[in-house]
Structure 1
Amino acid sequence: MTKEVVLHNRPVFDQIHPSIYGAAVGLVAWFAAAAWILFDRQSDIGLLLGMVSVLLLVAVLLPWLLSLVWKRHAKPHQPHPDATSFHDWRIGDFAVWGSKLHATQAAIDMLLPLAAVAFGLTAIGIVFLISARAAP
């Protein structure tokens, strides 16, 4: 028998909170900035970094533009969702494919790959700079 408290009647959300999207955009910007700052040391890498930056820009702008279109063309009989605070969203559940997941776990699942790539590229870039300075 478990001694965990089961919280009943928690709200179930079907949308990610906007601050999670903001954190995702911040991590993508961190990735692009780390790539440009730490790896732009040779003249032939600029085109590759430019293409990666364009790809990341499209990956961020496309969902944002789609959300703007969705908000503008919402059906008139659909009620507008009230703005939910991050604290209220965090303690609730998140609907995932007919199931529920705790909202904090959903945010971690979304942000963890982006954070791993951004921080991993930063660590690799720092090691790259240190080894370049140490080389004769």
Structure 2
Amino acid sequence: MATIRHDQDIRYDRQVSRGLHAWVYFAMVGLAACYALSAWIGFGGGYDAYLLAVVTGFIVMAVALPAIAGRVWRHHRSGTHAATTFADWVEGDFDTGEHPMKARTAAIEILLPLAAVAFGMTAFAILALVES
């Protein structure tokens, strides 16, 4: 039996987007860079540098592959779509496949785990620098 969520007020006169705004992707790249940089600053010394290089390679690939796929998708999509500002995108709805949700909520749910990991690694790096 399917359940219907009534906890969000969805207005049907708002724009519904099927993709994230470019600024959300930029925030994802920035948080990944913060994570990698914090790992190198806090733990990059001695014999463990090769492990950090491998982890940094994984982070770069995790960011680069979706970026390349998104660029190809934007280049080959059919029709012309007017570019919207971030403020307009945030005020609209985001189509998740199941049901539309507020774009602001979608952006927060996407960026929150990345921010927690990046800021957590920054805290560990600061503690590692204080201890040494």
Shorter-normalised TM range: 0.7 to 0.9
Percentage of matched positions with identical amino acids: 40
Contact in 1 for aligned 2:10/2:101 (Cα 8 Å)? no
Amino acid at match of 1:13: S
Q: Does 2:47 correspond to 1:71? A: no
Q: 2:84 is paired with a residue of what secondary structure? A: coil
Q: In the comparison of the two structures, how many residue pairs are matched?
A: 124
Q: Does 2:40 correspond to 1:30? A: no
* Distance in 2 separating the partners of 1:6 and 1:32: 38
Return structure 1 stretches of 4+ with deviation > 6 angstroms: none
TM-score normalised per structure 1: 0.84
Cα RMSD after superposing both structures: 1.6
Structure 2 portions without partners, runs of 5+? 1-8
Q: Larger Rg: 1 or 2?
A: 1
* Distance in 1 separating the partners of 2:118 and 2:49: 19
Structure 1 portions without partners, runs of 5+? none
1:84 matched to which residue of 2?
Answer: 84
* Distance in 2 separating the partners of 1:98 and 1:125: 39
Q: 1:45 is paired with a residue of what secondary structure? A: helix
Q: Does 2:57 correspond to 1:54? A: yes
